[in-house]
Structures are given as structure tokens and as C-alpha cells.
């Protein structure tokens, strides 16, 4: 039996989290800000993560255009407790990851790219 799209997305996010120590949570969100799939802690407000992730990426992309920075690769928000990494998956979806401060950024970016490629095959 072919796994559902939700199950496939969950498996990819799960693999990403296993491959990169310190990734705490992940979500695939539509560019409309609506959550498609997520692996978020129970106390996380999924709707807010989706809406804010899409808005941050959208504003960043427009800023990049306005300021002639070329096509945006990723958005990395750095806080004292960790990072929020946001990347576009294609025209209609984005990936949001919540990451602890101790992460190796090189590993995070490399695995994120691989994860995006897999997600693109499904979405």
C-alpha cells in the first residue's frame, strides 16, 4: 500500500530530525501560512508557527528583491535559546525548523537542503 502524503511528509521530517542533532521541531507550511504537516511539541501553537513562518519568509523574500540581494536561499533567525530556520520548498510550501543553539550550522544547512529535495518530490 502506498503511504499517504501525510505519512510520507512525516517520515521525511522525522529523518531530518534524526540526522541533525538539536533539531527540536519541524513543520511543512503552505505559503498561505497553513500547516500541511508538522512534528511540533504538543504545547506549540501550530497555527501561529505556520502563519509566522510563512510571513517571515515572504517579507524576507520581498526585502531581498527590493534590496537587490538575489534569490533568497534561507532565513535564519538567531535567538539566545536557538534558531528558527525557514526555507522555501517550492512555489507553494515552506519548511520551518526550530533548532537548539548547540547545532552545527553546516550540518543543519546540508541536511536541510537534502530534506527540501525530498519534500519537493512529494509536494
Partner 1 sequence: MVDLKKVVLERDLNPYHSFFASFFAGLGELGMLNQGSINIVAKRAADYLYAYLDAKEILPDMDTVPGESKTEVIKNLILYINKILSLVGEYDLQDAGDDQVVLLIAGNTCRICPKGVGGAEVKGTLCPIPSLLESLINMITQKDMLELITAGIEKEGSTCKAYFKVLN
Q: Which residues bind partner 1 (CB under 8 A)?
A: 29-35, 47-48, 50-52, 54-55, 58-59, 61-62
In angstroms, give the least distance from the CB of 21 to partner 1.
30
CA distances from 52 to 32, 33, 48, 96, 115 (A): 10, 7, 6, 10, 21
Nearer to partner 1, 24 or 58 (CB): 58
Provide the pairing of β-strand 75-79 with 82-88: antiparallel
27 contacts: CB under 8 Å, gap ≥ 6: 13, 35, 36, 37, 38, 39, 40, 46, 49, 50, 53, 95, 96, 97
Nearer to partner 1, 20 or 54 (CB): 54
In angstroms, give the least distance from the CB of 34 to partner 1.
5
In angstroms, give the least distance from the CB of 67 to partner 1.
14
Nearer to partner 1, 66 or 68 (CB): 66
Nearer to partner 1, 70 or 106 (CB): 70
Amino acid at each position: 500500500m502506498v503511504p499517504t502524503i501525510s505519512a510520507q511528509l512525516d517520515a521525511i521530517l522525522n529523518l531530518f530530525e534524526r540526522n541533525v542533532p538539536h533539531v527540536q521541531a519541524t513543520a511543512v507550511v503552505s505559503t498561505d501560512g497553513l500547516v500541511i504537516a508538522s512534528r511540533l511539541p504538543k504545547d506549540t501553537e501550530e497555527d501561529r508557527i505556520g502563519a509566522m513562518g510563512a510571513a517571515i519568509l515572504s517579507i524576507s523574500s520581498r526585502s531581498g528583491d527590493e534590496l537587490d540581494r538575489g534569490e533568497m536561499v534561507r532565513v535564519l533567525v538567531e535567538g539566545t535559546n536557538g534558531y528558527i530556520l525557514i526555507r522555501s520548498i517550492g512555489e507553494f510550501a515552506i519548511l520551518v525548523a526550530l533548532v537548539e543553539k548547540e547545532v552545527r550550522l553546516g550540518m543543519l544547512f546540508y541536511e536541510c537542503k537534502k530534506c527540501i529535495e525530498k519534500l519537493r518530490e512529494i509536494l
